[in-house]
Structure 1
Amino acid sequence: MSLLQQAARRHQRGFSLVEILVGMAVGFVVTIIIYQVISTYEGIKRSTTSGADTQQNGIFSLSTIERDVRAAGWGLPTATVMPCATYLTYYSTGAASGAVPNFPNTPVRITDGGTAAGASDSITMLWGTSIRSNVRNVLLQNVTANPPGTPAANLQPTSNVGMSSVGGFVWLTDDANNCALTRITASVTNPASTTSVILSHDSGTGTATAPVYNPPAAFMTANGWPATYTSNPRIFDVGALTQRTYSVVGGSLISRDFFSSMTEAELANNVVGLKAQYGISAAGSQVVNNWVSATGTWATPSMDDFKRIKAVRIAVVVRSPLKERIKSGNTACDTTTAAPASWSGGPALDLSNDADWRCYRYRSFETVVPVRNVLWANYS
């Protein structure tokens, strides 16, 4: 074999074992570095995406509740023109019936959820659509309300000006100050007064998506509804009513509207807490000088006390949708070590009902909303 052939043969040899091992070691180190970079990036991506989802849920939840608090009280008669001693309401879905659940009889009502683990407050707002809700419409005749569905039970207002259409609500009351919420089922011209109408409010059986709100005679008798309205009977038109309650159930913000459908609607997930307080003023003032929870006398405030409520403070606590990994060397999550607070100096949420609550990040969204329709009504 010539020297030239031997040289060519040496150039055709493969890698030696040492060279292969060195190459594998270098490749392994590069792989580890790439994995660490990807892992770090994925962690940042998880945190960024989780934070964006948390902010979106929190802002949406708070703005939705705030919008309804601002609407609360619109289209409702004030206590000055309709001083009710008793509020009488009814609903029927066909499967269930009774007084309208959680009827607030005031524009805003907070229900304190207590201090148990996982407990949250709920808040209910009430408003109507009538622009003449404070205008009393005297009836042309005394009303024999029980039994309903008879000519004597129909309502004959002195004027049909500003009256809502069929399906709207009116308050029926007299000088005894028993206020019965009544839904109009029919409206025809009054032959005895062509500028007025005769309003029917027949009872019936509703469904889960279309409840009825006029009670049958048996319910009225069993629950002490007045059988007649004879001392200056009158009605106040409130139009279409909205009574919406917000609460936290199973980690989601839930709403229920009792005058359109009794079904619950999920608005946002990963909401773990809702807290609310009344901002109250001294009697005769419009300046908030104290914040109180809906406990004690403020659980069911009297009308005089309710006139002192000028604002509502609301906090929605939202958690990240992704559970954080346990750090290397730890045996338990420590992403969050202290229970999230509702607002600065406010009550903290006890989340100990969830064994993994420390594995999530939390953020509180808080605002103060004036009950402006009460202010416009010159409540003092």
Structure 2
Amino acid sequence: MPRRRIHPPTPRPRGLSLVELMVGLLVGLVVSLVIYQVLAGNEGLRRSTSAGSDAQQNGMFSLAIVAHDLRAAGWGLPTADTMVCARYFTYRDDGSTRGPVPDFPGAAPVRIVDGGSAPGASDRITMMWGSSVRASVADGLLQNVTAVPNGTAARLQPASKVALSTVGGFVWLTDDKNDCALVRITASAPSPLSPDTVILSHDPVAASAGLANYNPPDEAMGELAWPSTFDANPRIHDVGALVLRTYSVDNGNLMARDDFSSGTQVQVANNVVALKAQYGISDAGSQIVNQWVSATLGPAGNWATPSLVDLRRVKAIRLAVVIRSAIKERPDAATGQCAVTSVAPVSWPDGPAIDLSNDPDWRCYRYRSFETVVPLRNVLWANLA
């Protein structure tokens, strides 16, 4: 009888034991944690690098655009020597408010308004320039001028052969009484009394937000105490198109306003937390800056409202803008407090202090200060010593 072959028993299939599963899960969790920490570190580095790059671009752009306008200040304007003014009269009506032109600097091509040292305070800086190459030429008039801009007596008839500002440009109206009124030309016609010259009109126009009126009507002239006549050697200075631009910081933004244009504030750059400026002044009769002063009333003099003599000593502007990173950094995990910034940024050594404590989270941001000195070259060229 044949023998039966006996096969060994087939092993039964086995899965992972509970211990093996738990070890695998633990290893996976450790690997995931390591990967997360690496990614979180790289993301934090990327955020900081990106924020630093954005802050640098904002700072360089903000400083460059303000410095550019400062270099233009004073161009196309009569110097204080050629147009002596004891009082300045200006007017602006944008359809909703009317009165003197805001922040008008008078004889100064640049005027700083000191913001003080309160938390979050910034300075305000205004600069003005024109487009005429003949601004310092005093053009005499054929007639005494009635300042009220309604009627024939308000027309400006130059006595010399001059090509004056086109319609829409500005002229200063003045005389030996040293009252100076800024008016805008609304019409130009050939003069029958003096060949090759023109008769200029400065009538009020309908005001709106898009087109302001700079010539006061009769009632406004009374309210603002404008001079009624210019009858002591009346003359005009042609300044052409005028720019009066004011830079300030508002809610973390660098803002600009042009009061001879729309008159509305526009954002120039964001994450700007401070704007600080000082005058660079020389001794009388000199062009060399030997002192920096804030626009305040203090031991150095009254630079909040400087006199004409002191204005001639201003030769340069020192300017600083402080930029904040756009991204708020996370607080320290152990203390719950932000430690990214512990000391407030500075404008420049021995410069105006910067206090950011109006924002309780100011330490959670990174800051950079950008500073420059801008010589007022148009003042220097005019040799206003």
TM-score normalised by structure 1 residue count: 0.96
Partner of 2:51: 50
Shift, 1:161, TM fit:
3.1
Q: Check if 1:213 corresponds to 2:201.
A: no
Partner secondary structure for residue 278 of structure 2? strand
* Alpha-carbon displacement from aligned partner over 1:86-115 (angstroms, at most 9, x marks no partner): 111000011100010110011000000011
Partner of 2:179: 178
Partner of 2:3: none
Shift, 1:160, TM fit:
5.3
Q: How far apart, in 2, do the equivalents of 1:95 and 1:53 lie?
A: 38
Contact persistence 1:92–1:205 (CA under 8 A): no
Shift, 1:347, TM fit:
2.4
Matches within 5 A, 1:60-99: 60-99=61-100
Partner of 2:109: 107
* Alpha-carbon displacement from aligned partner over 1:185-244 (angstroms, at most 9, x marks no partner): 000101222311110000133112211100111122232222111111110000000000
Shift, 1:371, TM fit:
0.7
Give the number of aligned pairs: 375
Matches within 5 A, 1:133-148: 133-146=135-148, 148=149
Partner of 1:366: 371
Partner secondary structure for residue 197 of structure 2? strand
Q: How far apart, in 1, do the equivalents of 2:280 and 2:117 lie?
A: 20
Q: How far apart, in 1, do the equivalents of 2:128 and 2:278 lie?
A: 17
Partner of 2:380: 375
Partner secondary structure for residue 276 of structure 1? strand
Shift, 1:342, TM fit:
1.0
Shift, 1:159, TM fit:
3.8
Q: How far apart, in 2, do the equivalents of 1:300 and 1:348 lie?
A: 21
Give the residue type in structure 1 aligned to 2:62: S
Matches within 5 A, 1:168-317: 168-296=169-297, 297-317=302-322
Give the residue type in structure 2 aligned to 1:55: Q
Q: How far apart, in 2, do the equivalents of 1:97 and 1:311 lie?
A: 33
Contact persistence 1:159–1:197 (CA under 8 A): no
Contact persistence 2:99–2:224 (CA under 8 A): no
Q: How far apart, in 1, do the equivalents of 2:21 and 2:289 lie?
A: 79
Q: How far apart, in 2, do the equivalents of 1:355 and 1:292 lie?
A: 31
What 5-or-longer segments of structure 2 have no aligned partner?
Answer: 1-5
Q: How far apart, in 2, do the equivalents of 1:144 and 1:25 lie?
A: 95
Partner of 1:125: 127
TM-score normalised by structure 2 residue count: 0.95
The alignment yields a C-alpha RMSD, in angstroms, of 1.3
What 5-or-longer segments of structure 1 have no aligned partner?
Answer: none
Q: How far apart, in 1, do the equivalents of 2:195 and 2:353 lie?
A: 62
Bigger Cα displacement from structure 2, 15-24 vs 291-300: 15-24
Give the residue type in structure 2 aligned to 1:111: V
Q: How far apart, in 2, do the equivalents of 1:186 and 1:366 lie?
A: 45
Bigger Cα displacement from structure 2, 179-188 vs 161-170: 161-170
